[in-house]
């Protein structure tokens, strides 16, 4: 399962002295996936995030978040701090009862679309996408864990700085043998151009690493490829 996106700015249109939108494309290995619009916010408003959120009028900036919550009747659910439980790890053939596969796939596809601009849920969505063929109630419970997380983070998104440096730096991490089904490792990285994220990925390694060091070398090679 692969989840790799790149960010390209293709246009700019000023709406007023205080607000503007940037037309952007996000592609997967060169294939255009969607176009989004980004609201320009003054820097002094970003310094006090809570005050900025409280003063927002109209729909939340991340309308896809609220759409999913409303459709699943979880618009008033209690938020959680993490998009996935650190105790219960979903796996294939967990012995649980079968869930509604149509509903599961519908929600996962919407979360996949949302993860294009929500890097914080990329790992969780990538993990839950592996059970779309035969989801169980345990898998559906994990999906319903992501939704309360969205409830508390509807204003999260990509932050693009206007004044930026030209340096490149990358963060990466690896979960060695973290998949309980086949013991494969999951790798992920995030590449910044200055302070702006431009490319990110979360995916399973193709082969099983027999040691932490082997998995680490594969992670570095994948990130720099």
Q: What does the domain layout of the chain look like in residue ranges?
A: 1-41, 60-158, 168-224
198 — pLDDT class (breaks 50, 70, 90): confident
Among candidates 223, 30, 224, 2, which has minimal Cα distance to 112?
A: 2
Low-confidence winner among 29-38, 88-97, 135-144 (lowest mean pLDDT): 29-38
Cα–Cα distance for residue pair 181/145, rounded to 1 Å: 20
What is the share, in percent, of the chain residues with pLDDT greater than 90?
Answer: 24
Average pLDDT, the chain: 76
139 — pLDDT class (breaks 50, 70, 90): very high
**Percent of the chain that is helix, strand, coil (3-state, to 5):** 35, 25, 40
Global pTM reads: 0.71
pLDDT of amino acid 38: 57
pLDDT of amino acid 21: 46
Task: Select the more confidently predicted residue: 62 or 198.
Answer: 198
What tokens appear for 155 in the block? 């204003």
Model confidence at 49: pLDDT above 80: no
Low-confidence winner among 29-38, 99-108, 115-124, 207-216 (lowest mean pLDDT): 29-38
61 — pLDDT class (breaks 50, 70, 90): very low
b/e per residue, 14-52, with b = 16+ CB within 10 A?
eeeeeeeeeebebeeeeeeeeebebeeeeeeeeeeeeee
Question: For residue 92, how many other CB atoms are within 10 A of its CB?
Answer: 14
Most confident of 6-20, 63-77, 122-136: 122-136
What tokens appear for 34 in the block? 């969607």
pLDDT digits 0-9 by tens, 163-194: 778 899 998 888 888 777 788 888 888 889 89
Query: Taking residues 54-64, what's their average pLDDT?
Result: 48
Query: Taking residues 140-156, what's their average pLDDT?
Result: 91
User: What are residue 11's DSSP bridge partners?
Assistant: 23
């Amino acid at each position: 399962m692969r989840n790799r996106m790149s960010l390209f700015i293709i246009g700019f249109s000023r709406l007023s002295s205080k607000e503007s939108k940037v037309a952007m494309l996000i592609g997967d290995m060169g294939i255009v996936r969607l176009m989004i619009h980004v609201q320009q916010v003054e820097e002094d408003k970003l310094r006090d995030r809570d005050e900025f959120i409280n003063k927002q009028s109209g729909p939340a900036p991340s309308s896809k978040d609220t759409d999913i919550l409303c459709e699943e009747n979880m618009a008033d659910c209690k938020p959680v701090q993490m998009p996935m439980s650190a105790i219960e790890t979903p796996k294939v053939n967990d012995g649980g009862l079968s869930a509604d596969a149509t509903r599961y796939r519908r929600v996962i596809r919407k979360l996949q679309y949302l993860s294009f601009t929500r890097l914080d849920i990329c790992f969780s969505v990538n993990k839950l996408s592996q059970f779309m063929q035969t989801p169980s109630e345990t898998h559906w419970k994990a999906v319903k864990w992501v939704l309360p997380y969205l409830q508390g983070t509807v204003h999260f998104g990509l932050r693009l700085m206007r004044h930026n440096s030209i340096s490149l730096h990358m963060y990466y991490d690896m979960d060695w043998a973290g998949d309980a089904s086949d013991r494969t490792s999951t790798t992920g990285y995030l590449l910044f151009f200055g302070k702006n994220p431009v490319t990110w990925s979360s995916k399973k390694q193709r082969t099983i690493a027999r040691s932490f060091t082997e998995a680490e070398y594969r992670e570095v090679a994948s990130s720099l490829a």
